[in-house]
Amino acid sequence: MVYLLQHALEQSADKYPDKDAFRCMSQRLTYGELERQTNNLARALQNEGLQKGDRVGILLNRCIDTPVALYGVLKAGGVAVPIDPFAPVERIRFVIADCGIGLLISNNQQRRALQKLDLASTQVRAVMGPDVSLSVPNVSWSLVASNGGSPTANTMLEHDLAYIMYTSGTTGTPKGIMHTHHSGLAYARLSGNLYGVNANDVVANHSPLHFDISTFGYFTAPLFGATTIICSDAETKIPNSLAQLIDKEGITIWYSVPLALTQMLQGGMIHELSWSSLRWILYGGEPFPVSQLKILLAKTRNARWSNVYGPAEVNQCTYYHFDASTDLASTIPLGHIWGNTDMLIVDENDNSLGINEQGELLIRSSTMMSGYWNQPARNDKAFLSKENAPFEQRYYRTGDLVTLDSDGLLHFEGRKDRQVKIRGYRIELDEVQSILDLHEALDEVAVFVHREGQDKSLAAAVVTALPHEEVKRTIRLFVASKLPSYCIPEKVIILTNIPRTAAGKVDHRALVKLTEE
Amino acid sequence: MREELIAYLETEILHGEEEVLAEDDLLGSGLVDSMGMMKFIAHIEEEYEITIPPQDLVIENFMTIAAIEEYVKGRSS
């Protein structure tokens, strides 16, 4: 019976031992080999003292070690915490401390990042994977393989935690979204059924492991015995190589943020490629510019497209399918609520709204997180509890403003707060703001979004006595030391005072106008 | 050419915060992101007066400074 995420892998390893489960560049792992390697890692983690429920960090780039690390942790009874190896040292150290990571999985390629972390001063007591010397003991992959065996049985159940994904918070520190085996598997089942995923599918995974889009390639595909192609970091940076990968690997299901698809289009090579293997193209994270979408639709006449919507807190909750024959409006709807999910659209007092009335979308779903790690106050605010005797139902407040039209389609109308999506990255303007507020040489700061045509970028207006030529660099270095690189304001304007409304609030409209001049 | 490429990358894209060696993996290491790579390619086209056709814009030609140098020299000769 499949009630834990690793059962999906075990089942597919039983059915398709010689079939490729994952490929990345020239490397491959069959289901049988993945089963053996994850057993070895799980045993090695237990030998290092892992107890059920212990958090294990996965500090890896896009590579073939990621599925081994993820399922190895789950089989050992641990909770996987994927960490961006390219994030600032301070942020990685925050995550390690926040959820108490004692064991870390990495590899030799991350040597630089591991050394910068100064692990001896953290709670990490051992690193699995690298064979370079660090300030804490390490167990190399070859040692993991030779000391392995099967993990000892554990008593995990479906509502035990499986993984924590960190995302930006508004206060300057990230928050950990907790998912259980139940919510992870519910997502894998629902998404697999929605897109008819089967053992003949070849799924492209573009997202790094620490973003929720990766759950399709890492959880859904193995549940149905499909093969996942992990797009390497190199391929994600050279759009033409990425475009070629579709033909080379015979990708049948593509899933990424819109930017990856528009970059392939702009790379100028797709007319030379067939892309005939594609049967589904899924995108999520932000709206797709329709003008570019139409060119891509003409290229992919045999494929269906799906707009995937859902904050990482609920995995996915809506879908909108279309293809080359669909008469598209100027924006693509969020579409329909999917299975085992209810929604409410409410006003500021949590009263339900009617057709075409704009309000916040609230979601109750089997794919929903259990809460944020170690954040009781935040969890109280994140959910609305509704009594539905004899049960209490929890709805997650998405913060997204939507309308429901008379055809039953949901439409995205904006954000309730100052969270934005830029190039698919989820950015809290208030988080960037709170970091810059800490800088002593910046007297006043206002962070906002600068638009140029269809392109959006992060901008900051500052009041400062610093020499003008130093301001941009100062801001960049300061933000880069605390937040991921996509949070660095690309545009900086220096003002003598920040425009404010009569009520004294920052006048964002005036700021946007200033940058347009 | 190698020195010019490294100097441009270090100052204009990495903002003088990282040192780059000719054999460093620019793409897999996280040193350069996709927007940075696009900027670098635009610079190479301008500086060395070549147009890089789409079929040449692939990993093999841009993985390292050494690979870029070899590619650009091959194009100029």
Kindly state whether residues A398 and A451 are assigned to the same domain.
no
The two tokens of residue A260 are 């990856």
How high is the pLDDT of residue A147? 76
Contact between A88 and A166 under an 8 Å Cβ cutoff? The reply is no
- Cα torsion A332, A333, A337, A338 to 10°: value is -10
What is the extent of the structural domain holding A424? 419-516
Q: What CATH number is given to the structural domain containing A123? A: 3.40.50.12780
Kindly state whether residues A398 and A434 are assigned to the same domain.
no
Inter-chain residue contact A263 with B34, CB threshold 8 Å: yes
Q: Nearest CA to A98 among A428, A374, A431, A372?
A: A374
- The number of distinct structural domains making up chain A is 3
Kindly state whether residues A437 and A411 are assigned to the same domain.
no
Q: What CATH number is given to the structural domain containing A357? A: 2.30.38.10
Residue keyed to tokens 């290092």 = A48
Inter-chain residue contact B15 with A272, CB threshold 8 Å: no
CB atoms within 10 A of CB A52: 14
Q: Which residues contact A472 (CB under 8 A, 6 or more apart)?
A: A492
Contact between A81 and A99 under an 8 Å Cβ cutoff? The reply is yes
How high is the pLDDT of residue A363? 97
How does strand A391-404 pair with strand A410-415? Answer: antiparallel
pLDDT in tens, chain A (517 residues): 899 999 999 999 999 999 999 999 999 999 999 999 999 999 999 999 999 999 999 999 999 999 999 999 999 999 999 999 999 999 999 999 999 999 999 999 898 889 999 999 999 999 999 999 899 999 999 999 987 788 888 789 999 999 999 998 888 889 999 999 999 999 999 999 999 999 999 999 999 999 999 999 999 999 999 999 999 999 999 999 999 999 999 999 999 999 999 999 999 999 999 999 999 999 999 899 899 999 999 999 999 999 999 999 999 999 999 999 999 988 999 999 999 999 999 999 999 999 999 999 999 999 999 999 999 999 999 999 988 777 888 999 999 999 999 999 999 999 999 999 998 899 999 999 999 999 999 999 999 999 887 788 999 999 999 999 999 999 999 999 999 989 999 999 999 999 988 777 888 888 888 877 6
Kindly state whether residues A389 and A508 are assigned to the same domain.
no
Q: Distance (Å, rounded) from C-alpha A315 to C-alpha A338?
A: 11
Please tell me whether the peptide bond between A258 and the residue prior to it is cis, using omega within 30 degrees of 0: no
Q: Which amino acid is at A200?
A: N
Kindly state whether residues A110 and A11 are assigned to the same domain.
yes
Chain A: residues touching B (Cβ < 8 Å): 61, 85-86, 109, 112, 232-241, 244, 263, 267-269, 272, 423, 473, 476-477, 480, 485
pLDDT in tens, A123-149: 999 999 999 989 999 999 999 998 778
Last residue of a domain, one of A415, A437, A463: A415
| CB-based burial label for A40 (10 Å; 0-12, 13-18, 19+) | buried
Kindly state whether residues A217 and A172 are assigned to the same domain.
yes
Contact between A390 and A203 under an 8 Å Cβ cutoff? The reply is no
Kindly state whether residues A363 and A468 are assigned to the same domain.
no
Kindly state whether residues A166 and A205 are assigned to the same domain.
yes
Kindly state whether residues A355 and A473 are assigned to the same domain.
no
Contacts of B35 in chain A (CB under 8 A): 423
Q: Within a domain: residue A24?
A: yes
Inter-chain residue contact A485 with B15, CB threshold 8 Å: no
The two tokens of residue A142 are 């070859």
CATH code reported for the domain at B2-76: 1.10.1200.10
pLDDT in tens, B28-66: 877 888 888 989 999 999 999 999 998 899 999 999 999
Q: By the CB < 8 Å criterion, does B40 face chain A?
A: no
How high is the pLDDT of residue A517? 62
Q: Which helix (H) or strand (E) holds A139?
A: strand A138-140
Contact between A301 and A281 under an 8 Å Cβ cutoff? The reply is no
Kindly state whether residues A370 and A425 are assigned to the same domain.
no
Q: Distance (Å, rounded) from C-alpha A376 to C-alpha A374?
A: 6
Kindly state whether residues A175 and A214 are assigned to the same domain.
yes
CB atoms within 10 A of CB A214: 22
Contacts of A112 in chain B (CB under 8 A): 29
